[in-house]
Amino acid sequence: MSDVQTCSLCPRLCRHACPVSVGTGREAATPTAIAGVLVDHARGQVSDELARQAATLCVDCGACQDACHLHQPLPAMLREARDVLLSPSPEPDLPAVPAGVSVLLLIAQSADSLRPTAQVPSDAHVVVCPDRLGVDHDFGSSPALGAVLAAFTGLELYTMDGGIFDVLHRAGLEPKWALDVPPTSVGSCVCALGERPPLACCGARGPLREHHPESAVHLAQAFARRLAPGSVLLDTRCAQHLRNSGCAVDPHGVARQGETA
């Protein structure tokens, strides 16, 4: 039996962990239901469009796999399905690295109000990555990640942006986190730091926001209501998405609990 079939027959054991399933309350958004559509699609019983709708009800957070007693690789299976069902993502806009540079601090914007920790070497070369290495696109298992790997292999990498960290990590690199933010004040991007987010996802990640914008707004509003006062949003994606969803976010990315703009 294939892995995706196993998920399609599962009594929804990981649904409580999936932020899309919980945040939307939609039965169709449970990992089991999504897998069921993909199995039916492979049998020719549902359209490509229905399969696309199902495979994009995901923020690619990995929580289902973590919660699964079988450790089923459902996130990777959904990525592979999206590779087939969606058009390829554009190549990321990669910054040029001057010759002789060995340490990079990658930031999202030049006016970033956050300051890196003292652990970042003083000779680190700062590069601005306006599209955050293309994180807003759903890479799936795309070769674009190979371009990121090739561009930065051999360099010591630091970043203060969860989205940039996310892309570097997914490309197989080992970026270092350049902020010393107490975990209790982290409101976002912990998915990108390899810890399971206590607040799940705000809906900014993965293909959800582009393909299911209304569901992504529901996730953002639920996320903002659960944020502790003064939480720091460490991922520019999240700050923008929360702001676009009507939630109160300061210009430097600090959300205020429960408020809406």
Q: Residues 6 or more apart from 75 whose CB is under 8 A from it?
A: 58, 60, 61, 62, 64, 65
How far is Cα 246 from Cα 243, in angstroms, rounded to an integer? 5
Q: Which long-range contacts (CB under 8 A, 24 or more apart) does 242-248 make?
A: 242/202, 242/204, 244/220, 245/203, 245/216, 245/217, 245/220, 245/221, 246/217, 246/221, 247/220, 247/221, 247/223, 248/224
Under rule CB under 6 A, residue 27 binds ligand SF4: no
Under rule CB under 6 A, residue 207 binds ligand SF4: no
Q: Which stretch binds ligand SF4 (CB under 6 A): 10-18, 100-108, 127-135, 155-163?
A: 10-18
DSSP state of 186: B
- Residue 24's SS3 state is helix
Q: Which stretch binds ligand SF4 (CB under 6 A): 12-20, 172-180, 234-242, 248-256?
A: 12-20
Least distance in angstroms from the C-beta of 22 to ligand SF4 = 9
Restricting to residues 70-129, which ones interact with ligand SF4 according to CB under 6 A?
70, 72, 74-75, 78
Per 3-state DSSP, the chain is made up of helix, strand and coil in percentages (nearest 5) of 40, 10, 45
CB-CB contact of 160 with 186 (8 Å):
no
Least distance in angstroms from the C-beta of 67 to ligand SF4 = 6
**From 37, 38, 39, 59, residue interacting with ligand SF4 (rule: CB under 6 A):** 59
CB-CB contact of 32 with 7 (8 Å):
yes
Least distance in angstroms from the C-beta of 186 to ligand SF4 = 19
**What is the pattern of x (binds ligand SF4, CB under 6 A) and - over residues 29-48?**
--xx----------------
Residue 31 or residue 140: which is nearer to ligand SF4 going by CB? 31
Element (DSSP H or E) covering residue 104? strand 103-107
Residue 30 or residue 245: which is nearer to ligand SF4 going by CB? 30
Q: Which stretch binds ligand SF4 (CB under 6 A): 6-14, 161-169, 174-182, 213-221?
A: 6-14
**From 33, 37, 38, 61, residue interacting with ligand SF4 (rule: CB under 6 A):** 61
How far is Cα 243 from Cα 71, in angstroms, rounded to an integer? 35
Q: Which stretch binds ligand SF4 (CB under 6 A): 16-24, 36-44, 130-138, 168-176?
A: 16-24
**Residue 177, strand partner residues:** 159
CA 35, 39, 42, 47 torsion-angle sign = negative
- By CB under 6 A, the count of residues binding ligand SF4 is 25
Under rule CB under 6 A, residue 232 binds ligand SF4: no
Under rule CB under 6 A, residue 68 binds ligand SF4: yes
Contact residues toward ligand SF4 (CB under 6 A) are 6-7, 10, 13-14, 17-20, 31-32, 58-65, 68, 70, 72, 74-75, 78
